Structure 1
Amino acid sequence: MQGSQFSLKGKTILITGATSGIGKECARIFAELGANVVLSGRSEEKLKAVANELCLGNRPLICADLSDENSLATLACETPPLDGFAACAGIHYSSLLKFSDENEIEKIISLNCTAQIKLTRHLLRNKKFNKGASLVFMSSTSAFLPQPAISAYSASKAAMIAFTKALSAEIAPRKCRANAICPALVKTPMTESFLNQNPELAKIDEAKYPLGYGKPEYVANAAAFLLSDASIWITGTSLTVDGGLTGSK
Structure 2
Amino acid sequence: MNFTGKNILVVGASSGIGLATAQLLHVDGATLYTASRHLPAELAALSPTHFTYDATQPVGTALDGLPEVLHGLVYCPGSIKLRPFERVPVEDFQADFELNVLGAVRVLQACVKRLKKAEGGGSVVLFSTVAAAVGMSFHTSIATAKAALEGLTRALAAEYAASGLRVNCLAPSLTDTPLAAALLNTPEKAEAGAKRHPLQRVGQPTDLANMAAFLLSDQTTFITGQVLAVDGGMGKLK
Q: TM-score, normalised by structure 1?
A: 0.88
In terms of mean alpha carbon deviation, does 103-112 or 16-25 score higher? Answer: 103-112
Verify: 1:120 aligned to 2:108, yes or no.
yes
Residue 202 (structure 1) shift: 4.1
3-state SS of the aligned residue for 1:29?
Answer: helix
Tell me the residue number matched to 2:174: 185
Deviation at 1:51, TM superposition (A): 3.3
Aligned pairs (5 A) from 1:220-235: 220-235=209-224
Q: Which residue of 1 aligns with 2:66?
A: 79
Deviations 1:187-215 (A, max 9, x none): 00111233215x43442332121221110
The answer to whether the 8 Å contact 1:73/1:119 transfers is no
- Residues 1:168 and 2:163 aligned together: no
Counterpart residue number, 1:208: 196
Equivalent of residue 50 in structure 1, options 42, 45, 66: 42
Amino acid at match of 2:103: A
Deviation string for 1:49-68 (max 9, x for gaps)? 23333xx23x3100101111
Matched-pair contact (CA < 8 Å) for 1:20–1:189: yes
Give the one of 119, 122, 136 matched to 2:125.
136
Asked whether 1:106 is paired with 2:94, we answer yes
Tell me how far apart the structure 1 counterparts of residues 131 and 140 of structure 2 sit (CA, whole Å): 9
- Partner SS for 1:15: strand
Cα distance between partner residues in 2 of 1:103 and 1:50: 33
**Which amino acid counterpart does residue 30 of structure 2 have in structure 1?**
A
Task: Using the aligned pairs only, state the percent identity.
Answer: 31
Is 1:25 matched with 2:20?
yes
Q: Distance in 2 between matches of 1:64 and 1:204?
A: 36
Per-residue CA deviations over 1:158-214 (Å, capped at 9, x if unaligned) read 1111111110111112211000011111100111233215x4344233212122111
Q: What corresponds to 2:32 in structure 1?
A: 37
Which whole-Å deviations, capped at 9, do the CAs of 1:5-31 have from their partners, x for residues lacking one?
x32221111001100000000000011
Unaligned 5+ segments in structure 1 are 1-5
Asked if the contact 2:170–2:229 (Cα under 8 Å) also holds between the matched residues in 1, the reply is yes
Deviation at 1:94, TM superposition (A): 0.8
Give distance in 1, aligned partners of 2:192 and 2:14.
30
| Deviation of 1:151 (Å) | 0.3
* Residues 137 and 179 in structure 1, CA contact (< 8 A), matched pair in contact too: yes
TM-score, length-scaled by structure 2: 0.92
Structure 2 unmatched runs, 5+: none
Contact 1:134 1:227 in 2 (8 A): yes
Q: Deviations over 1:111-167 (max 9, x none)?
A: 01111112211223xx22123110000111111013111101001111111111110
Cα deviation per residue 1:213-239 (whole Å; 9 max; x = unaligned)?
110000000000000000010001111
Consecutive aligned runs of 4 or more in structure 1 exceeding 4 Å deviation: none
Whether the 8 Å CA contact 2:12–2:76 is kept in 1: the answer is yes
Deviates more, 1:228-237 or 1:89-98: 89-98
- 1:108 deviates by 0.9
Give the root-mean-square deviation of aligned CA atoms. 1.5
Q: Give the total of aligned pairs.
A: 233
